């Protein structure tokens, strides 16, 4: 049976700025009005990051716009939110993030069987020359495909 997955937001800049090494699926601790706002697609992953400390993973910088009919139940749009992961996963990510050049970055937010999920990744930062190398590879691949198409 196919999984019912609806993508709500994606952090495209993460793929540009980092080498993605390992990814995890996490739940997010949210209030009711935040879930309603997320279902409307009113969230922004840009500039968000994850910290793993004291046995907990916390998402910082995720902006969820206030729900219009939420009045007094709305929360702060950029408050830190706890992530729901297994202890072993949190320990593993925390230990890896301590290594120089590694970070835990959110990749995308999606609905899976009606629940809001977050895909996070253990990533190593790219240097400027790495970014140039990736762009050169993409250009070369495009050129090969163009030549292949014209040769037919």
- Answer yes or no: CATH 2.40.280.10 is held by domain 5-127: yes
What 3-state DSSP class applies to 82? strand
Show me where the domains of the chain are located.
5-127
The H-or-E segment that residue 13 falls in is: helix 12-17
Burial annotation 32-61 (CB, 10 A radius, 16+ → b, else e): ebbbbbbeeebbbbeebbbbbeeeebebee
Residues 6+ apart with CB under 8 A from 80: 58, 59, 60
pLDDT averages per 10-residue partition of the chain, 152 residues = 80 88 93 88 90 92 86 82 94 88 91 93 85 88 89 76
- pLDDT for 85 equals 95
Looking up tokens 């749009």 gives 77
- pLDDT for 2 equals 60
The pTM of the full predicted model, rounded to 2 decimals, is 0.79
Cα gap 126→123, rounded to integer Å: 9
- pLDDT for 15 equals 86
């Amino acid at each position: 049976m196919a999984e019912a997955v609806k993508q709500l937001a994606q952090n495209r800049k993460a793929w540009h700025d980092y080498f993605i090494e390992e990814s995890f699926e996490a739940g997010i601790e949210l209030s009711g009005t935040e879930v309603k706002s997320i279902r409307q697609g009113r969230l922004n992953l840009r500039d968000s990051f994850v910290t793993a400390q004291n046995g907990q993973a916390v998402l910082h910088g995720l902006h969820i716009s206030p729900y219009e009919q939420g009045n007094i139940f709305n929360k702060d749009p950029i408050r830190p939110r706890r992530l729901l992961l297994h202890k072993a996963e949190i320990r593993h990510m925390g230990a890896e993030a301590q290594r120089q050049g590694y970070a835990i970055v959110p990749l995308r937010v999606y609905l899976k069987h009606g629940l809001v999920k977050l895909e996070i990744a253990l990533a190593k930062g790219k240097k400027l020359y790495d970014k140039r190398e990736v762009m050169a590879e993409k250009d070369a691949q495009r050129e090969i495909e163009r030549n292949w198409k014209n040769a037919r």
